[in-house]
Structure 1
Amino acid sequence: MSDAHHRKKQPALVRQQLLTVAAELAGRQGMAFLTLDAVAGASGVSKGGLLHHFPSKTALLDALFDSLLVRFDEAIEQAMRSDPVPHGRFSRGYLRAVAGLRDRPEETSDWAHVTMALLTEPHLRERWRAWVRERSDEYVGTDSSPNAEIVRFAADGLWLADLLGSHDLDGPARQALFDALVELTMK
């Protein structure tokens, strides 16, 4: 009998390993090269084992997107918990979560490739739109001002600039931008 027959099954760990490998492959080679065969081969899981967890590339992308959204939501919630001012709290949490991605290179890489997939995968775009709508509805009471919306759009611009490395905005200039955006949420 092979070792596979003696190993204890740990589906949650295998699923997470597959997601980690998928994110790494997307990061190294881009989303176009993210295939089920490549993920199975790089993870050491049989293609049948991969298909047990993710029956299609779409299911794999959805799961990868879900895992990133969970981490993003957690970062926003953490920022909101430490913010004593209710007005604009979600927008400041969103800004802090976005600005903080740059300090977490593993997430920046994951988000970079999923963000590019958002441009080409209509169902992922719709899922992102749904996430934005849900948060807008949830925080309409505190974050519906035009300034809060401006801050969220500016945060998206900062996010894209960080992902692309398109702007040299470091140190005092970045802090001044961040502070100005936080100030806008207070009005």
Structure 2
Amino acid sequence: MKREALLDAAESVLQENGTQALTLSAVAERAGVSKGGLLYHFPTKEALITGLVSRVIAEFDELVAEHDTGGPDSYTRAFVEATFAVIAAPDGARTGRRWAAITAAATTPELTAPLRAAIGRWHHRDDDSPNAIVVRLAAEGLWEVAAQDPSQYSAEQYTALRRRLLGLL
């Protein structure tokens, strides 16, 4: 069983049943592995949550890097493109990923520290134009809305919102 499948199982448990249901036994059962198989990759619940948080950060960083072309406001443009790549994806599989990681990590400040650091890095840039901060915060807020209700906006509305945010730069 691969780490990614175990993290997917943990996300499913969180999204369907909430933080109180996130146990190593529940994740192992959801993934269809023995608890020992899960423990091989994640020896504690905290290690599992750390894996969820690390994956969210790494995936978003990779998406931003893919879209960052350099130049004025390119980081913020990349941030918007990366955000929409997640929230407007047809299957919606990654929309709730950050929500699941934040929810699971919220029980322990040490578990949320890497996410707080990443959010600080994503939002505090020395090369910001006047609108860049507003655009990133709006994209961030839209992600939160989409995580709670993925059907809130249609594909056409997401396209229009993306264009509008990019137009502010």
**TM-score by shorter chain over 0.5:** yes
Deviation at 1:14, TM superposition (A): 3.2
Sequence identity of aligned pairs in percent? 32
**Bigger mean CA deviation after superposition, 100-109 or 169-178:** 169-178
- 8 A contact 2:76–2:136 mirrored in 1: yes
**Bigger mean CA deviation after superposition, 161-170 or 127-136:** 161-170
- 8 A contact 2:24–2:35 mirrored in 1: yes
- 8 A contact 2:15–2:100 mirrored in 1: yes
Provide the residue aligned with 1:122 in structure 2. 109
**Which segments of 5 or more consecutive residues in structure 2 lack a partner in the other structure?**
none
For residues 44 and 173 of structure 1, the distance between their equivalents in structure 2, rounded to whole angstroms, comes to: 38
Pick from 63, 80, 83 the counterpart of residue 98 of structure 1: 83
**Which segments of 5 or more consecutive residues in structure 1 lack a partner in the other structure?**
1-12
Rg bigger for which structure?
1
For residues 151 and 169 of structure 1, the distance between their equivalents in structure 2, rounded to whole angstroms, comes to: 18
Give the 3 Å change call, closer, same or farther, for CA 39–118 of structure 1 in structure 2.
Answer: closer
Deviation at 1:178, TM superposition (A): 2.4
Taking the TM superposition and a 5 Å limit, the aligned residue runs for 1:63-102 are 63-80=51-68, 83=69, 86-102=71-87
Deviation at 1:172, TM superposition (A): 5.5
RMSD: 2.6
Deviation at 1:101, TM superposition (A): 1.6
- 8 A contact 2:63–2:82 mirrored in 1: yes
For residues 75 and 168 of structure 1, the distance between their equivalents in structure 2, rounded to whole angstroms, comes to: 23
TM-score of the pair, normalised by structure 1: 0.74
Provide the residue aligned with 1:23 in structure 2. 11
2:67 is aligned with what amino acid? A
Give the 3 Å change call, closer, same or farther, for CA 47–174 of structure 1 in structure 2.
Answer: closer
Give the 3 Å change call, closer, same or farther, for CA 163–135 of structure 1 in structure 2.
Answer: closer
Number of equivalent positions: 167
TM-score of the pair, normalised by structure 2: 0.81
Deviation at 1:154, TM superposition (A): 0.6
Give CA-to-partner distance per residue, 1:24-49, whole Å, 9 cap, x none.
22232223211011112233333233
For residues 37 and 10 of structure 2, the distance between their equivalents in structure 1, rounded to whole angstroms, comes to: 14
- Secondary structure, counterpart of 1:86 in structure 2: coil
- Secondary structure, counterpart of 1:107 in structure 2: coil
Give CA-to-partner distance per residue, 1:65-116, whole Å, 9 cap, x none.
2122222112111122xx4x61111111111111222214111132332243
More helix by share: 1
